[in-house]
A = this chain, B = another copy of it.
Amino acid sequence: MSSKKTVSQSEDFSVWYIETIKKADLMDYSPVRGCIVFKPAGYALWEAIQKELDARLKETGHENAYFPLFIPQSFFEKEKEHVEGFNPELPWVTEAGGDPLEEKLAIRPTSETMIGHMFSKWVKSYRDLPLLMNQWCNVVRWEKRTLPFLRTSEFLWQEGHTAHATEQEAKEETFKILDLYAEFIESGLAIPVVRGEKTPSEKFAGAVHTYSVEAMMKDGKALQAGTSHYMGQRFAKSFDIQFTDANNQLAYAYTTSWGVSTRLIGALIMVHGDDQGLVLPPRIAPTQVIIIPIGAKGERERVLSYAAQILDRFKAKGIRVKLDDRDNYSPGWKFNEYEAKGIPLRMEIGPRDVNQDQVVLARRDTLEKITVPTAEVLETVDRLFNEIQENLYQQAKANFDRNTHMAETLEALTDIIQTKRGFVLSGWCGDDRCEAKVKEESGAVSRNIPFDPPETMKTCVACGEKAKYTVWFAKSY
């Protein structure tokens, strides 16, 4: 399948994306509108992301829990902005066990309401705080236009929910998680991100502040890679999360929530993929090395037993390695196959290599091949993993730098968005109408107000008045 002629990234990025996913066998469409099946290769990426991120969340004191899939209708109505934001996307269970339900149950689009309700039962005293919980689960938002991994009606994610005794502590948590996300995405997924605050029109329904990490895809479009929300006391007041503080006074808690989802799989594909297929960073790759034996039939046993020894040595070192010993596919076919799947390193072993105690290593990112003495292969692989990881990050960073612009007028911004591509830094006065105008004219949406902009813009790109904020605008997924 991987030898089929396919569309290149430069010809049509959207078609390339879907074809790349298909070639790498990551997913399939399901018979339910907007829901995909995560095939093993796609789900393995999610498992790798989970493993890395879960360890970081546990190290920082968060505990996993599991809350119900169903949320009673009345819960949504307790937080006005929240219900307005999510109501249009909810699927409703109206009958169960053969009977109509007295109260409709929504399938969770996110769990602030349910968790807020439970927190109110668990928090009595300041000694019960902070509550630092996380849940890995499925959520559903009935989407009109869908795109595999990036926007599907059902998706998988983690959602963290915390409650704190003070405003300061809750704010610190919000930023700590944003930084944790940025660190994980940059070092684990080799994807540079910009941190910043969402504008009011783009913030989470019900939040006081929403912060995001935004990544740039190869086509210059933005992808919101993770969000962290500071709720203040809004959900605590709606769900009655009250506690007795150290001075014996009753007070409302301060809450936060934050999440990343299976859209990170889409980011991996769109940031690192090339015309041969996926390119996976070694740190996150479910399989880091694929060993492919080569040579005439008569030599097969000798080569295989040599390969098996290396396989065992690698496994013992904790390297995620596989040996493809199928004899009904040619080496060339396999090369294409594993390039499409993005395996960071391919090891080729032929009879001549066995004779000379060496192997050939081919990097997926640069497609370079080197011959290495077997005695040195472990340290070489280790070094190459670091080089590939760093190279992928640098390539993504270079793409980001190449495709970031500044614009002082709406005309200039629109021109950049429509004739070039990428992120545009512009000033904004803070008026929703100016933000809406940018979107209308250019198709670009505000991504975030970066904490650390490369430049501080002086005038609003839409109205020309004094700018209050410097904003990243971009088309987005």
Contacts and interface: CB of A to CB of B under 8 A. Distances in A.
B105 A32 contact: yes
B93 A97 contact: no
Nearest to A40: B63
A95 B91 contact: yes
A246 interface: no
A64 B92 contact: no
B137 A138 contact: yes
Interface string A13-45: 000000000000000101110011111100110
The size bracket of the interface on A is 35 or more
A88 B92 contact: no
B70 A43 contact: no
Interface in A379-435: none
A117 B69 contact: no
Interface of A: prevailing SS:
mixed
Interface in A418-475: none
Contacts of A68: 30, 32, 35-37, 154
B96 A93 contact: no
A92 to B, nearest CB: 5
A68 to B, nearest CB: 4
A442 B156 CA distance: 46
Given A40-B64, A63-B40, A117-B31, A138 B98 contact: no
Contacts of A75: 31
A366 interface: no
Nearest to A87: B98
A118 interface: yes
Contacts of A130: none
B89 A97 contact: yes
A93 B107 contact: yes
A140 interface: yes
B28 A118 contact: yes
B96 A95 contact: no
A133 interface: yes
Shortest beta-carbon contacts, A-B, top 4: A97-B142, A91-B96, A40-B63, A38-B66
23 contacts: A28-B118, A30-B67, A30-B114, A32-B70, A32-B105, A35-B69, A36-B68, A37-B68, A37-B118, A38-B65, A43-B64, A43-B65, A44-B63, A47-B64, A68-B154, A88-B97, A89-B97, A91-B95, A91-B97, A92-B94, A96-B142, A97-B144, A137-B138
